[in-house]
Amino acid sequence: MSVPRLELEKRWKRAKEELEKHGLDALIIPLGVNFRYFFGKAGQPSERFLCGVIGKDTDPFLLTPAFEKSNFARATGLDDIIVWEETESPYRKLEQELAERGIGNHIGVDPKLWIVEVERLNKAGKSREIKSVGEIIDELRLIKSEWEVEQLRMATKASAEGILASFERLKAGMTEREVVPILNEELGSRSGNPITYALVQFGSNSALPHGYPTDKKLRENEVVLMDVGTNVNGYQGDITITMPFGKPPEGFEEIYNIVYEANRQAFDADKEGAIPAELDRIAREHIETKGYGKYFTHRLGHGLGLEVHEHPYLVGTNQDPLKAGSAHTIEPGIYIEGKFGVRIEDDILVGKGNAERLFDVPRYNWRRD
């Protein structure tokens, strides 16, 4: 499924409004995550310059290498595609096109545009003012449309159910690395896409907040932590489930309950206008009052969308109020080196009067919601 044309047109309209508000004449977006947002085509930049242009007063168009034209016409649905040959300068070609379309000199660029490309654009268009507009793009991507929310719901559900199905297939002696293809199969069968990333951690390895799969073997009666996500149409799920394999080790239930309550307390305070730093404080203070404050070693959460980590960030320094329609994780944790760790992560949609979980993840047996 591609991004609906109406969805893209709404994004272009909002971008034009932001350009007008900030006194900019056009926005240049190179291939990458923001290109996917504005034009619906996934891909990574290469040595051949390729970009989309959204003018304040003109229709969007693309600049591509000549041999890529049909590919991008088919993928984006755009007919207005300017091409450059291998013997031409794409930067001079773009400058010529901007001039012919009457686009003014104040140009915003995606902050992910390589600095070498910015230098070449500056050289080609000496009279133009080119500046990074990351905050504008972040603001546009922050509020999810109904279509985007539906993709996030499906991705979150696929991520959670795929992890739970993978837990059912665990066997003693299996290594962390051996679980990854199982996760890929279980999540992929639900989302239609491979896993984006997989943190699989057994026993003492679960005490590493970001521990990647190793050859450590699974033993009876130890903790298993899986932090995994897959995507639907590029929109990311990000779920962490922590459970014992067999009987829970000593102290596990106490730690699990503390992290669970920290997660729920932060969620209960989550809504439009809530301050991210305050949500972080709520979860952190609960863990501190139980005597485990020093073991919660990362921020409470991060935004979610086309990227696994994007705005808004739920960290102790972020005082920007949350906005309805934004999505983020809540993922407190306690990590005791040499023993085990517990992280409970949910994907959240911010609402006007409250927040909602994009999918209600069944938790460990005595804590089912």
Give yes or no: residues 114 and 158 share one domain: no
Q: 151 with 131, same domain?
A: no
Q: Name the phi and psi angles at 226, rounded to 5.
A: -125, 125
Length of the chain in residues, anyone? 369
Distance set, CA 144 to CA 4, 20, 37, 327 (Å)? 14, 21, 11, 8
Beta-sheet pairing, 129-132 with 195-202: unpaired
Do both 190 and 230 map to the same domain? yes
pLDDT tens-place string over residues 49-89:
999 999 999 999 999 999 999 999 999 999 999 999 999 99
Write out the DSSP string of 257-271.
Answer: HHHHHHHHHHHHT-S
**pLDDT computed for residue 369 by the predictor:** 43
CATH assignment at residue 270:
3.90.230.10
**Number of domains forming the structure of the chain:** 2
CA dihedral 128, 58, 12, 75 (to 10 degrees): -100
Q: Where does a domain end: 93, 118, 142?
A: 142
Q: Are residues 126 and 196 in the same domain?
A: no
**Last residue of some domain: 122, 142, 162?**
142
Residue 171's domain comprises 146-367
Residue written as token pair 């696929």: 158
Out of 110, 142, 174, pick the residue that ends a domain. Answer: 142
User: Tell me: the pLDDT tens digits for 131-180?
Assistant: 999 999 999 999 999 999 999 999 999 999 999 999 999 999 999 999 99
Average pLDDT score over residue span 299-303: 98
Residue 19's CATH number: 3.40.350.10
159 and 52, same structural domain? no
E strand or H helix at 284: helix 276-289
Same structural domain for residues 168 and 128?
no
Query: Residues 138, 194: one domain?
Result: no
Tell me the H-state helices in 22-68. Answer: 33-39
Q: Domain check: are 90 and 196 in the same one?
A: no
